[in-house]
Amino acid sequence: MKEHKKRLPEGLRFGPLFDEAEVEMVSEVVRSGRLTQFSSTLVTEFEDAFAAYVGAPAAIAVNSGTAALHTALAAAGIGPGDEVIVPAFTFIGTVGPVLQQQAVPVFTDIDPKTFCISVEDAARKITPKTKALLAVDMFGHPADIDPLRELAAQHDLVFIEDACQAHGAKYKGKRVGNLADLTCFSFYESKNMPTGEGGMITTGNERLAQLCRMIRHQGEENWGIIRRLGFNYRMPALQAALGVVQLKKLDKFNEMRRERAAIYTRALADLDLELPGESPDVWSVFHVYSFLIPRRLAERRDEIVRRLREERVPVGVAYPRPLYASPVFAHLEGPFDCPVTEDVCSRVITLPTLQSIPVEIAETIGEVTREVLLEYMRE
């Protein structure tokens, strides 16, 4: 295949967008020697600011998005043999905590446009053993919250929202974070507001908030009084320091991600692709830009990805297979009946939208991606 006129620089790596504000805040923590939530007030400051931002009465900081989800499930009382409705198209961090609680994930198909959990398939898969419904705001696009919440209420299920890719996203004009019983966020370095590692749980239920606080700190209710099994899921002050600064920039960062997504859409709009969009009631924050190639090219998807990487395009595949295809779930009985997930996994390609990507680089990514795809479409 030909080499393209437009070339991306070698060694491209895009990470968090920090400036002197983060450097100074972290330096203050280091100089103070106060590194934990017990010796520093920064964790509480971050919790209060984040709760106010999403409009939730309570926020509980933890050390990862996975820890947030595990804590939420434990606080919800999910235990051995309980069934939890989960999407088949997601990261292991969503569903691994279900297994940690010795519960049973019930894999559910997705909407072909939003890649979020299908309300209809979720309804079909509820049984008397179902205790929770766990929806993911996939790639920054909120799930269809209202019908999911109604479905959960109808069956007396705890409704948990995995918003680990959706900081600042909106559903019907409201930011995600107080639309479910428990909402979980991640601050991993690729997220819309990164702190390196870190997570947050938000809720409007004070009982659940108290349980989450207890679980993240060894199950301790008061000094020396252990009410239940817990974990060390506490957020360090260094991460909270970054979070306090990054939260102030989140709205700007989300606009920057949407701008990069729009650049890709302009480059690819006239090709035979299924491009990401937004449901009418949704404001997506485009954690990544995922699109589908034509079915006739599905068997060559990995080849196309390799070709794009040869052209230095920082391309990915999220996700290459349904989560139930992972060996850790081999003990579960199928069939899982998730045809949309199977189809999407065979055709999805992902481009980065990080705010640290310069506009001119995003434009080149779009142009080179277009040229490579055209080569395959013309064959």
Residue 7 lies in a domain: no
pLDDT of 302 strictly over 80? yes
Task: Please check whether residues 115 and 260 belong to one and the same domain.
Answer: no
Task: Please check whether residues 190 and 95 belong to one and the same domain.
Answer: yes
What confidence score (pLDDT) does residue 379 get?
Answer: 86
Q: Which of 344, 350, 356 is nearest to 112 (CA)?
A: 344
Task: Please check whether residues 274 and 159 belong to one and the same domain.
Answer: no
Task: Please check whether residues 358 and 210 belong to one and the same domain.
Answer: no
Provide DSSP, 37-69. TTT-SHHHHHHHHHHHHHT-SEEEEES-HHHHH
Mean pLDDT along residues 329-340:
95
pLDDT of 274 strictly over 90? yes
Task: Please check whether residues 203 and 274 belong to one and the same domain.
Answer: no
Mean pLDDT along residues 313-323:
97
Kindly indicate the confidence band of residue 190, based on its pLDDT and cuts at 50, 70 and 90: very high
pLDDT of 175 strictly over 70? yes
| Tens-place pLDDT, residues 13-24 | 899 999 999 999
Kindly indicate the confidence band of residue 70, based on its pLDDT and cuts at 50, 70 and 90: very high
- Count of Cβ atoms closer than 10 Å to residue 277 Cβ: 12
Structural domain count, the chain? 2
Task: Please check whether residues 372 and 303 belong to one and the same domain.
Answer: yes
pLDDT of 314 strictly over 80? yes
- Angle of CA points 203, 176, 150, to nearest 5°: 75
Task: Please check whether residues 229 and 343 belong to one and the same domain.
Answer: no
What confidence score (pLDDT) does residue 307 get?
Answer: 97
Kindly indicate the confidence band of residue 3, based on its pLDDT and cuts at 50, 70 and 90: low
Residue 5 lies in a domain: no
Final residue belonging to a domain, choices 189, 223, 244? 244
Kindly indicate the confidence band of residue 149, based on its pLDDT and cuts at 50, 70 and 90: very high
Residue 70 lies in a domain: yes
Residue 238 lies in a domain: yes
Residue 14 lies in a domain: no
Kindly indicate the confidence band of residue 7, based on its pLDDT and cuts at 50, 70 and 90: confident
Mean pLDDT along residues 90-118:
99
Domain CATH code at residue 28: 3.40.640.10
pLDDT of 2 strictly over 80? no
Final residue belonging to a domain, choices 186, 221, 244? 244
Kindly indicate the confidence band of residue 11, based on its pLDDT and cuts at 50, 70 and 90: confident
For 118, the token pair is: 């299908």
For residue 327, is the peptide bond before it cis, meaning its omega torsion is within 30 degrees of 0?
no
Task: Please check whether residues 256 and 270 belong to one and the same domain.
Answer: yes
Task: Please check whether residues 25 and 157 belong to one and the same domain.
Answer: yes
Residue 13 lies in a domain: no
Task: Please check whether residues 331 and 222 belong to one and the same domain.
Answer: no
* Helix runs in 217-283, H state only: 237-268
pLDDT of 1 strictly over 60? no
Task: Please check whether residues 221 and 254 belong to one and the same domain.
Answer: no
Residue 81 lies in a domain: yes
Domain CATH code at residue 260: 3.90.1150.10
Kindly indicate the confidence band of residue 208, based on its pLDDT and cuts at 50, 70 and 90: very high
Task: Please check whether residues 349 and 239 belong to one and the same domain.
Answer: no
What confidence score (pLDDT) does residue 6 get?
Answer: 67
Please list, residue by residue across 147-177, b when 16 or more beta carbons sit within 10 angstroms of its beta carbon and e when fewer do: ebbebbeebebbbbbbbbbbbbbbbeebbbb
pLDDT of 290 strictly over 90? yes
Q: Give me the chain's average pLDDT, please.
A: 97
| Residue 259: domain span | 250-378
What confidence score (pLDDT) does residue 222 get?
Answer: 81
